[in-house]
Structure 1
Amino acid sequence: MPKTVLYARVSTAEQNLDHQKKQAEAAGFKIDKVISDNGVSGISTKLSDRPQGKRLFDLLQKGDTLVVRWVDRLGRDYRDVSDSIRHFMREGVVIKTVINGMVFDGATKDPIQQAVRDALIAFMAATAEAQAIATREAQRAGIAAAKSDPRTYRGRKPSFTRESFEAVIAMLDQGVGASAISSATKLSRQAILRIRQDRSSAERALALWDL
């Protein structure tokens, strides 16, 4: 029987796997199984090199659905994301995202539709890589600033975690409004606006609090 598998990456202790599952369910998905990689960086580790990411390649079969929060869960860069999506499509697996409800499958045989689909995959993969690069640079800047003066006043602890910050950035980059993002992430609209206005400061706050 076809199954729906949610793949999540939880990179910090602050992140909540149950929250990710609830987000997917709120988007209309009925999840049969959850697979999660804990403490693994999606910026530096290929999907096939992650302990649980490897399981996906053996577990998923024709007719199954793979659910991810966003395409950046499926690789560390453009090539990795593209290769992962195309591999699963060749195997007859449908990939769906929680954010924006994107769907990728190999069902269509129409050359025009295939070309449109492939162009969309390329665009999404490029967006994921650009976001990863921006996140990596912001992390470096935030950590450097925090380490430059150990006595630096950390200020109020952020209301968002690394996971929710990345989710907000991903949705902002897709043009999602602050109110919709607030509803999806359970963060206040004010927090969303602060992140939108000054991503570097938000990243620095995460670094200062080691989140």
Structure 2
Amino acid sequence: MSKTVLYARVSTIDQTAAHQLTQARQAGFVVDEVVTDEGVSGVSTALRERPQGRRLFDMLRAGDTLLVRWVDRLGRNYADVTDNVREFMRRGVVIKTIINGMSFDGSTRDPMQMAVRDALIGFMAAMAQAQAEAMKEAQRAGIEHAKSQDRARVYKGRKPSYTRAELQTVLEMLAANSGASDIAKVTGLTRQTVLRIRADQAGADEALRAWGM
């Protein structure tokens, strides 16, 4: 009997597996099992090197569905993501994303459909890597800024109305070209907050750091 497995990579305190499961259910998915990797860096650790990432390759069978929040959960960079997606498809596993409801499987044999599917996989993997690099750059900038100032004497501004996990979701959906209204619906944030984050992504990350979030 086929099953749907949610793979949740949890790298921060706010990015809980329960939160990702709630998002999946809100998007209409029925999840049979949740596999979670905690405290694992998504930008430095390949999927096969993660404790539970290895388990996915052992447990998933043809006809099963692998559900992930976004394709960046399936690798550390462009090559890792595309290789893993294609390997799962070769095994007959269907891959679906919670954000934007994308679906990838290897059932088609039409050359044109295969070319379009593979091009889309490559495009999404490239966006995931670009977003990861942008986040790392924003974090480096925040760290350097923190080092150059005495935070106890700097006005921190208004406390952000979003958490680290919500910011991550907003950035991922922006990278997927989702609209502000759709992002607000998924995250529970106001549309104005989403627009402010979109206008200054690095500033949004720095605001969280200023408040120790």
TM range (shorter): over 0.9
User: Secondary structure of 2:51's partner?
Assistant: coil
1:176 to 175, 178, 184: 178
Return 5+ residue gaps in structure 2 as ranges: none
CA distance in 1, matches of 2:70, 2:61: 21
CA distance in 2, matches of 1:160, 1:35: 26
Deviation at 1:42, TM superposition (A): 0.9
CA distance in 2, matches of 1:7, 1:80: 16
Residue in 2 that maps onto 1:159? 161
User: Secondary structure of 1:66's partner?
Assistant: strand
CA distance in 2, matches of 1:158, 1:39: 24
Task: Tell me how large the CA RMSD over aligned residues is.
Answer: 1.4
CA distance in 1, matches of 2:90, 2:184: 36
Residue in 2 that maps onto 1:15? 15
1:99-178 aligned within 5 A: 99-151=99-151, 152-178=154-180
Residue in 2 that maps onto 1:38? 38
Return 5+ residue gaps in structure 1 as ranges: none
CA distance in 1, matches of 2:150, 2:84: 41
CA offsets 1:73-124 (integer angstroms, 9 cap, x no match): 1111100110110111111100000111111110001111111111111111
User: Secondary structure of 2:8's partner?
Assistant: strand
> How many pairs does the alignment contain?
211
The sequence identity of aligned pairs, in percent, is 62
Residue in 2 that maps onto 1:6? 6
CA distance in 2, matches of 1:156, 1:36: 34
Residue in 2 that maps onto 1:59? 59
Deviation at 1:189, TM superposition (A): 1.8
TM-score, length of structure 1 as denominator length = 0.94
CA distance in 2, matches of 1:60, 1:150: 51
Moved more, 52-61 or 8-17: 8-17
Residue in 1 that maps onto 2:78? 78
User: Secondary structure of 1:2's partner?
Assistant: coil
* Alpha carbons 1:43, 1:136 under 8 Å: kept: no
User: Secondary structure of 2:40's partner?
Assistant: coil
